[in-house]
Amino acid sequence: MSLTVLGLSGALGHDPSAALYIDGRLVAAAEEERFVRDKHAKNRMPYESARFCLQQAGLRPEQVDVVAIPFAPVSLAGPARWHYARRYWYAPDRALDALLAGNRRYRRYRQRILWCLQQLGFDPQRVVLEPVEHHLAHAASAWLCSGFQEKTAILGIDGKGEYATTFFGWGENGRIHKIREFYDPDSLGGLYGALTEYLGFEMLDGEFKVMGMAPYGDPERYDFSRLARFENGELTINTEYANVVGFRRYKDGRKGYYFSPRLVEWLGPKREGDVADEPYVHYAASMQALFEKLALDMMDYYLGDILRETGKLAFSGGCALNVKLNQKIIARPEVRELFVQPASGDAGTAVGAAAWVSRQRGIAVEKMNHVYLGPAYSNEEVIAACARHPQRPAWQQLAADEVAPRIARLLADGQPVAWFQGRMEFGPRALGGRSIIGCPSVPGVADRINEQIKFRERWRPFCPSLLDRVAPQMLRVRHPSPYMTFTFEVEEEWKRRVPEVVHEDGTSRAQVVERQYHPRWYDLICELEKLTGNGVILNTSLNRRGEPMVCSPDDALAMFYGSDLRYLIMEDILLVKEATGA
């Protein structure tokens, strides 16, 4: 039996993406933002990403058997719409809409997807379109991609899907069993997002910044327990302060926020600017601490018995990218192994929906061993991009076996380098496909990248990519970490050896690199080890602040000439920019 399933996400107005399974193998996946150069690609459909997936596989639209979408109609007979209406009683227009027209968003999304497919050459009359509940798609993206064969606990936490915000269940024998869901506005992800807005960042983007700010503060300084509670199996967000709609929103000009004026009365003015200052660092620490406590309490309550039985947990949803929480989870004695979907945000639901439909139609999907699922470019395409660029950059082509030693020498000499190799990563982490790299033993290299290249907040940490044989020496916990989805305590010796990739609290968000999935990336780190004695490299995404990660050679050149980077290596093509200034 042969089966081709195209997954398309984007129902929630952000992070559209496409993923393609052929006979259970994930052959391509990409986020729309990378192609259209608009971070999170808000209110767009996954047109370019779907086109890429089809082209990558050499498929015509009529060869796709099913199109899976991670958004489904929700019955009025279930609890979700009634819970929403009851909790938003103070906004009767929202409450009544949930009861009387609660599937309007689904119908609108379905029509937009059909329009998108028609532009791609699909016949809308013949498309087999299969909706998958949003949190079921998240759950499938974690469990089905984990490779776990035994009974597995499944956890999903995000802002919200159709109405659900949190999912507890287990997977076994190809089926996902739901234990419990929570519904909007009782959303731990929504609460974290509301505080992200209060702390001066964009919701859906700045949550990582709050997490990075938290170690600079004292979580005991302020008691945030009034914001949410978990008692007797129920999560309740205090909508006097956060997850608010309508007239309860704090407004600044014409913009409304997901927190209320009452929060500002309690904590003071909304934070502005880039400085990690008081009291806001303490607020970030308190929010992170509350988030961790409630998430762990919920996990224990609903999944504790399953975890004690099996030791396996699969986790997805945007909150699964909170690496500090994940560190706490793997520290639990009952958790033997945690798999976090590397694209845990809504972009990953394209993978989850397609994987679920494939499995339901009798085709098991392969374990997700890597995320190098986007476009790749040849030397010839790189050279053509250089010829098109207004700067007409000079370039040199290195021998293939010269690339790793040459770049390692630049790094050891203290130079940051833009590294563009192979297929682009799927998900928010740069994992050696589209990265800015540096030598983590060179003092000040992280500040230099922040100030001159990334143009981002000084207090945000940089991450290490390290050889699989080095990980047991540097990290205090032995746990698979191919996707930078965990933080680990760093051994004291290594804090001194690679200080540029150790955060304020003594941890690192590490990528442990295996050679079979990206040989050139592994070989580069080996070459740097020969020069420095440390099989570790500083790795951050190849983009500037506010921009998506680079996709094509044209994108890389635009970024290169819009920053103070001096070195860019794309496949075997090396570009060197003349130094400026004194």
CA 14, CA 260: separation in Å to the nearest integer?
24
CA 182, CA 125: separation in Å to the nearest integer?
36
Selected catalytic residue, list 14, 135, 370, 518: 14
Q: How many CB atoms lie within 10 A of CB 568?
A: 27
For 273, residues 6+ apart whose C-beta sits below 8 A from its C-beta are 200
Pairing state of beta strands 25-31 and 17-22?
Answer: antiparallel
Is the Cβ–Cβ distance between 486 and 321 less than 8 Å?
no
Q: How many CB atoms lie within 10 A of CB 88?
A: 23
CA 458, CA 447: separation in Å to the nearest integer?
7
In 61-145, the DSSP E strands lie at 66-69, 129-131
Q: Which amino acid is at 479?
A: H
Point out which residues pair with 153 in neighbouring strands. 170, 313
Element (H, E) at 20: strand 17-22
Element (H, E) at 555: helix 553-561
Element (H, E) at 148: none
For 260, residues 6+ apart whose C-beta sits below 8 A from its C-beta are 240, 241, 242, 244, 248, 249, 250
In 421-533, the DSSP E strands lie at 434-438, 463-467, 487-489, 507-509, 511-513
Total residue length of the chain: 582
Element (H, E) at 82: helix 80-87
Q: What is the CA radius of gyration of the chain?
A: 23
- Scanning the structure block, which residue is given the tokens 């050279």? 383
315 closest CA partner among 202, 460, 159, 154: 154
CA 330, CA 315: separation in Å to the nearest integer?
12
Q: Is 177 a catalytic residue?
A: no
Q: How many CB atoms lie within 10 A of CB 383?
A: 16
Is the Cβ–Cβ distance between 159 and 191 less than 8 Å?
no
Helix (H, G, I), strand (E, B), or coil: what is residue 520? helix
Residue 411 token pair: 């790094």
Q: How far is CA 264 from the centre of its chain?
A: 29
Is the Cβ–Cβ distance between 151 and 171 less than 8 Å?
yes
Tell me the catalytic residues: 14
